[in-house]
A and B are shown apart, each in its own frame.
Chain A
């Protein structure tokens, strides 16, 4: 069953089209990477899926129901979003930041119950942040801060996790760790959609890729179908050679100098 579906979605910022006629269905258990050049509308697509932006025409459905009609708290119990570079001037500790993810599960006057603490501990440990819990969030490096935001989203105990360029601020080791985490969460049953810049990483880890160009879906399918010389030339305008990953049987691109 489709957990998120977009039906003929159009969206424009101040009259200039950003996304045109997007129809896309994401099934439960998917691990989907969204790739495409800068400004192609990838982040906007995430904001539409999460209901932060409303489509000008067409519909976005979450679990078969129109997203716009659901209560925000209900949505946040099902769907969590990790955006880029969340900054705050206030000195929240890592633990406090992660605890904020429990907001959609708690009553207004309720304090943390055992279920909440359990979710927070799980989110901290799965992102390897347990030892960081008392550190100040705004003094962490970009990559560490990004992991905190992932942990916050996981504390929401979502069925669907949307990530907008989760590996942007990360070095190679952190990136690998992030993709391993995404794979593990996906195996535990969480549907994952990630906007990704690194086409090789996307091809290596995602079950399915969606390539966007100029606000339209250009190609969709498993990596071997999407990552071809011709497609990359069309999408990014780059000349590349496709090689085969020596261990995982996935296509990888090599940029021609």
Chain B
């Protein structure tokens, strides 16, 4: 019972932290936006999405007149900054963070290995090949460029999953060990392909390197919307199999004896986790460490049971990513650091602290 209360407390704290991080992420920047105006902008833009008949009747009831008056005083540029730049950016960071948190905790349970991460079966190298190829072909400078790179990255990530899956066995059965080995081999090979592409990238070198360090600058609503279906579908599959993941972390044979259809659960979980990783990478580029450390931290705090761990990792991943992105923007402003760098710089020591604390208790 004590544990349930502890877990509820952690959820609450993470929820509050997420709201604070999102607000801070929108308010802080080269043009600071006061919180009061921020609220007005967000509420009024939600208001504008309502059907006109609703608006009219609500105005008749005397609601929102004050808000409309307030909006008059807020500069247009602020509205654009909030609605077109910062809001989609923090939301993209939130979705990518939760996708990586979910994917990481799933991979760790599936491979019963605390060192597994979302990219363990080569999704990241596949995505990098896709993204780098798109950049070298000059697609980034075309009108469709904003889509071309995420699409190419996503396709590359899914391609590497299929490659690993077909290399690791045939028919219904695949041992996690052969998946892991095939993943390492494919990952290494595709890593070399990326290095080769980088080597020949010439003018695009900086762009390729930057993409691989990950970040959210310039991410828009399309990125946010493109994440949503993957996160919803992948998340649903993974939560559906939460108890199976508990069983699988005792090994496949034991899970079988506990009534889990091991091959089916494994296939679905692997596909869902890889999909989430590919979707995340396609939006943000490579951001390591979050998918490894966040599930770990949550497991240390509230235990390894996946019905708690999965939602906690999704939430904590979101908080960590939004906060890291904010830090990346403000730490050395006006220079913007790559987010992947910040997650490793902040996450590493924090993780060591958690490990140390655990040893003491």
Contact = CB atoms under 8 A, between A and B. Distances in A.
Interface of A: 47, 50-52, 71-77, 80-81, 83, 86-93, 96, 100-101, 103-104, 106, 108, 152-153, 156
A96 B260 CA distance: 17
Contacts of A47: 253
Given A101-B258, A108-B240, A92 B247 contact: no
B112 A88 contact: yes
A96 to B, nearest CB: 6
Contacts of B249: 88-90
Interface stretch (B38-46, B212-220, B298-306): B298-306
Contacts of A90: 109, 112, 114, 249, 299, 304
Given A72-B261, A100-B250, A91 B304 contact: yes
Contacts of A72: 256, 259-261
Contacts of A87: 251
A100 B246 contact: yes
B243 interface: yes
A104 B112 contact: no
A86 B250 contact: yes
A88 B253 contact: no
Contacts of A77: 259
B254 interface: yes
A147 B256 CA distance: 20
Given A90-B249, A91-B304, A92-B303, A52 B256 contact: yes
Interface in B301-360: 303-305
Contacts of B188: none
Contacts of A156: 258-259
B292 to A, nearest CB: 14
**Which among B113, B240, B249 has the greatest number of chain A C-beta atoms within 10 A?**
B249
Interface of B: 109, 112-114, 240, 242-244, 246-247, 249-251, 253-254, 256-261, 299, 303-305
Contacts of A91: 299, 303-304
A51 to B, nearest CB: 8
A103 B260 contact: yes
B253 A83 contact: yes
A51 B109 CA distance: 23
B257 A52 contact: yes
Contacts of B243: 100, 103, 106, 108
A162 to B, nearest CB: 9
B114 A89 contact: yes
A91 B300 CA distance: 8
A86 B251 contact: yes
A34 B247 CA distance: 27
24 contacts: A52-B253, A52-B257, A72-B260, A72-B261, A75-B259, A76-B257, A81-B257, A83-B253, A86-B250, A86-B251, A86-B254, A88-B112, A88-B250, A88-B251, A89-B112, A89-B249, A90-B249, A91-B299, A91-B304, A96-B305, A101-B258, A103-B243, A103-B258, A103-B259
B359 to A, nearest CB: 13
B250 A50 contact: no
Contacts of B246: 100, 103
A106 B244 CA distance: 11
Given A80-B257, A89-B114, A100-B243, 8 more contacts: A71-B261, A86-B251, A88-B250, A88-B251, A92-B303, A96-B304, A100-B246, A103-B247
Nearest to B256: A52
B258 A76 contact: yes
Contacts of B259: 72-77, 103-104, 156
Contacts of A152: 258
A93 B303 contact: yes
Contacts of A50: 256-257
A41 B236 CA distance: 42
Contacts of B114: 89-90
A89 B299 CA distance: 11
Contact of A83 (B240, B244, B247, B254): B254
A51 B259 CA distance: 11
A96 B247 CA distance: 11
B107 to A, nearest CB: 13
Contacts of B253: 47, 52, 83
Contacts of A51: 256
A50 B258 CA distance: 11
**Which among B250, B251, B258, B261 has the greatest number of chain A C-beta atoms within 10 A?**
B258
B250 A96 contact: no
A71 to B, nearest CB: 8
A68 to B, nearest CB: 13
A52 B249 CA distance: 17
B250 A104 contact: no
A35 to B, nearest CB: 22
Contacts of B257: 50, 52, 76, 80-81, 83, 153
A51 B251 CA distance: 16
